[in-house]
């Protein structure tokens, strides 16, 4: 027998070790916090690299892993957390309110995709929030301190920190639970605070901090230097010319342009985002828009939101600094998720008012976007919907006949901005086959992709597949009933993570950005005969010799 074959005793030992914790011991009659916290391959993200933390000036840079027994927390970490919690309770009244008002009704419990996908009770939003609330109760309100035991309070220990790290990184801040909360508690904000606190003692996630560091240094998540950023877009310009015969002419860092266009950098370097970028470029050429792209504010996404308020503010500020420097009138934003949550919900009081910009007015239709009066930033979906509404686009939806579509509402745009109809209006105008998923999985009740808020790490794949299961199930339903083969979305994280989710749960469904379909359908003046879409896939019935 091979020497590599494990001995029976070793197998038994491994089996015992990996056996689900609840089966090892009887936990009846014990408190919820007695359930053990177990880190296994696939359920934790790699921590921030030392050099990344040093770049950012973040505390406690070191080599460690969640599976280590000793996390090398800094001396006095308990005080750091307590002081951090106190300071945040004072600074953010919403946080205090959310900790104080929960009545444990449980309405949120089965609304979380991570709870539905994992079945883990600590993934119920009510219990996830309780992880931090229990410490807050022990340390703060006097009456509850006296009533300790009745109030569900507990001491802050290293085990609690491990538990926070595990479960606050199984929340994508999607806010589906908050839709159902009768008290209006936004669990995402509790998660944001918990992650801020963890960052204070160096408990973190490299998939979040590396993009933050890159963005802080070069302006985008992947750390693409300005010349490469331009080269990438020029390369897409060549592709567009090959496919359509049209040469589009984006400009970079041009002072005096009317509009600054900012999109997630995934649209400039990643597949399938680049096809969405090609769609934008075709659209802007089609309407003769006076716009420019910045190589400094080369990222719409803002992973600062998953790190700290200060970092979110700093990364958001670069977009507005650049708009000021270039002297544009307003900003047009691409298809992104959390960029829009930051802009729509936090920007005005965080970096605003952006009174050096003008209230956005479409130069093509004259529509005044008074909803963007404060932020001076318009979402591309509403901009395009307005163009279509005013019949400013020549569209041939037949060109998308090879795509049988459904639409995934991106959490931050749907729940964070209330934008439901504009993307659907655009989608219906550019394709002939569109089927909605089940009512309780779309619009404000949309299910998250399972990888938002910086959890798109490959080492976290098992949990991502489980967290994304409710979304995948809804897609599967329309795949089976309507032969849907295309999942359209308006978020860069979705475009990065949903292809993986679909390939795992629903093979045969591909993921597209909305403006990729716009780009396919646009009939450009002087174009050559179009037989292939922007991915160079044949368009149904439009091949050579077909009419």
Partner 1 sequence: MTIEWGRAVQENKKNILDAWMSRSLLLFSGKMAAASPVAEALHQALGMVLDNCEKNSELLTDGLVQLSRILAVQDMPPSQAMSLFFELKKIIPELSLKGSQKQSLKQLDMDALQSRLEELTLQAFDSYMMQREKICQLKLDESKRMLFMQLRRAEA
Instruction: Give 94 or 235: the residue with its C-beta nearer to partner 1.
Output: 235
Among 60, 61, 66, 120, binds partner 1 (CB under 8 A): 120
3-state secondary structure of 297: coil
**Which of 1, 2, 57, 119: binder of partner 1 (CB under 8 A)?**
119
Q: Which residue has the tokens 């910045």?
A: 294
Q: Give 207 or 296: the residue with its C-beta nearer to partner 1.
A: 207
Show contacts with partner 1 in window 470-489 (CB under 8 A): 470, 473
Which of 11, 103, 373, 438 is in the footprint of partner 1 by CB under 8 A? Answer: 11
Interface residue with partner 1 among 6, 13, 21, 157 (CB under 8 A) is 21
Per the CB < 8 A criterion, the answer to whether 359 and 332 are in contact is no
Q: Considering only residues 67, 87, 101, 231, which one is a binding residue for partner 1 as defined by CB under 8 A?
A: 231
Q: Residue 42, interface with partner 1 (CB under 8 A)?
A: yes
Q: Is 140 in the site for partner 1 (CB under 8 A)?
A: no
Q: Which residues contact 258 (CB under 8 A, 6 or more apart)?
A: 289, 290, 291, 328, 329, 330, 363
For the chain, how are helix, strand and coil distributed in percent, rounded to 5?
50, 5, 40
Please pick, from the candidates 499, 532, 535, 540, the single residue that binds partner 1 as defined by CB under 8 A: 499
Interface residue with partner 1, options 222, 246, 332, 336 (CB under 8 A): 222
Classified as helix, coil or strand, 30 is coil
Neighbours of 90 (CB within 10 A): 10
Under rule CB under 8 A, residue 540 binds partner 1: no
Out of 398, 505, 510, 540, the residue judged to bind partner 1 by CB under 8 A: 505
φ, ψ dihedrals at 410, nearest 5°: -75, 135
Q: Does 117 bind partner 1 (CB under 8 A)?
A: yes
Distance CA 98, CA 185 (A): 5
- 3-class DSSP state for residue 292? strand
Contact 494, 511 (CB under 8 A): yes
Minimum CB distance to partner 1, residue 63 (Å): 22
Whole-number minimum distance, CB 216 to partner 1, in Å? 19
Residue 269 in the binding site for partner 1 (CB under 8 A): yes
State yes or no: residue 118 binds partner 1 (CB under 8 A). yes
Q: Which is nearer to partner 1, 148 or 503 (CB)?
A: 503
**CB of 276 vs partner 1, minimal distance in Å:** 12
DSSP 459: G
Other beta carbons less than 10 A from residue 128's beta carbon: 28
Q: Which residues of 146-171 are buried (b: 16+ CB within 10 A; e: fewer)?
A: eeeeebbbbebeeebbbbbbbbbbbb
Name the token pair of 13.
Answer: 């030992």
- CA-angle at 448, arms to 450 and 98, nearest 5°: 100
The yes or no reply on residue 105 touching partner 1 (CB under 8 A) is no
Write each residue from 512 to 531 as x if it is in contact with partner 1 (CB under 8 A), else as -, in one continuous string. Answer: --------------------
Q: Which residues pair with 434 in a beta bridge?
A: 405
Among 344, 466, 515, 530, the residue binding partner 1 under the rule CB under 8 A is 466
Cα 370 to Cα 330: distance, rounded to the nearest angstrom: 12
* 110 interacts with partner 1 by CB under 8 A: yes
Using CB under 8 A, count the residues that bind partner 1. Answer: 47
Q: Angle at CA 47, nearest 5°, toward 210 and 193?
A: 85
| Distance in angstroms between the alpha carbons of the first and the last residue of the chain | 67
Min dist CB 24 to partner 1, Å, is 9
Residues that bind partner 1 (CB under 8 A): 11, 14-15, 18-23, 38, 40, 42-43, 110, 116-121, 222, 231-232, 235, 266, 268-272, 274, 458, 461-463, 465-466, 469-470, 473, 496-497, 499-500, 503-505
């Amino acid at each position: 027998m091979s020497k590599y074959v494990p001995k029976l005793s070793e197998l038994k030992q491994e089996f015992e070790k990996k056996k689900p914790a609840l089966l090892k011991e009887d936990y009846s009659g014990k408190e919820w916090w007695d359930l053990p916290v177990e880190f296994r391959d696939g359920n934790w993200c790699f921590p921030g690299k030392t050099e990344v933390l040093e770049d950012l000036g973040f505390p406690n840079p070191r080599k460690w892993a969640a599976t280590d027994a000793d996390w090398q927390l800094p001396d006095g970490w308990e005080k750091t957390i307590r002081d951090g919690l106190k300071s945040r309770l004072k600074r953010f009244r919403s946080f205090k309110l959310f900790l104080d008002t929960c009545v444990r009704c449980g309405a949120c419990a089965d609304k979380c995709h991570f709870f539905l996908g994992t079945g883990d009770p600590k993934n119920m939003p009510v219990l996830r929030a309780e992880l931090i609330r229990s410490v807050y109760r022990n340390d703060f309100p006097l009456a509850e301190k006296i009533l300790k035991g009745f109030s569900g309070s507990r001491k802050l220990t290293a085990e609690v920190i491990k538990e926070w790290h595990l479960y606050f990184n199984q929340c994508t801040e999607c806010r589906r639970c908050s839709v159902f909360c009768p008290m209006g508690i936004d669990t995402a904000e509790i998660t944001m605070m918990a992650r801020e606190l963890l960052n204070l003692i160096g408990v973190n996630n490299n998939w979040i901090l590396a993009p933050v560091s890159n963005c802080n240094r070069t302006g985008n998540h992947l750390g693409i230097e300005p010349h490469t950023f331009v080269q990438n877009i020029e390369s897409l310009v060549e592709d567009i010319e090959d496919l359509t015969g049209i040469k589009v002419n984006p400009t970079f860092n041009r002072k005096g342009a009317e509009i600054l266009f900012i999109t997630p950098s995934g649209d400039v370097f990643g597949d399938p985002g680049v096809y969405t970028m090609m769609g934008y470029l075709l659209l802007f050429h089609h309407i003769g828009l006076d716009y420019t792209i910045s190589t400094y504010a080369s990222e719409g996404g803002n992973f600062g939101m998953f790190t700290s308020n200060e970092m979110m503010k700093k990364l958001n500020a670069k977009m507005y600094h650049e708009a000021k420097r270039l002297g544009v009138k307003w900003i047009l934003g691409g298809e992104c998720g959390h960029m829009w949550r930051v802009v729509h919900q936090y920007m005005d009081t965080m970096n605003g008012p952006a009174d050096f910009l003008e209230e956005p007015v479409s130069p093509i239709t004259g529509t005044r976007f008074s909803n963007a009066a404060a932020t001076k930033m318009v979402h591309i979906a509403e901009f395009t919907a307005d163009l279509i509404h005013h019949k400013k686009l020549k569209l041939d939806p037949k060109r998308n006949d090879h795509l049988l579509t459904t639409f995934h509402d991106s959490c931050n745009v749907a729940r964070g901005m209330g934008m439901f109809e504009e993307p659907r209006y655009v989608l219906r105008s550019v394709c002939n086959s569109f089927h909605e998923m089940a009512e309780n999985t779309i619009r404000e009740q949309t299910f998250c992709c399972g990888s938002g808020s910086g959890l798109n790490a490959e080492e976290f794949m098992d949990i991502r597949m489980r967290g994304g299961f409710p979304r995948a199930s809804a897609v599967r339903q329309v795949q089976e009933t309507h032969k849907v083969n295309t999942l359209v979305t308006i978020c860069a994280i979705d475009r990065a993570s949903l292809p993986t989710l679909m390939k795992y749960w629903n093979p045969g469904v591909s993921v597209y950005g909305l403006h990729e379909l716009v780009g396919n359908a646009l009939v450009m003046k002087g174009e050559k005969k179009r037989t292939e879409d922007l991915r160079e896939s044949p368009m149904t019935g439009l091949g050579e010799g077909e009419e």
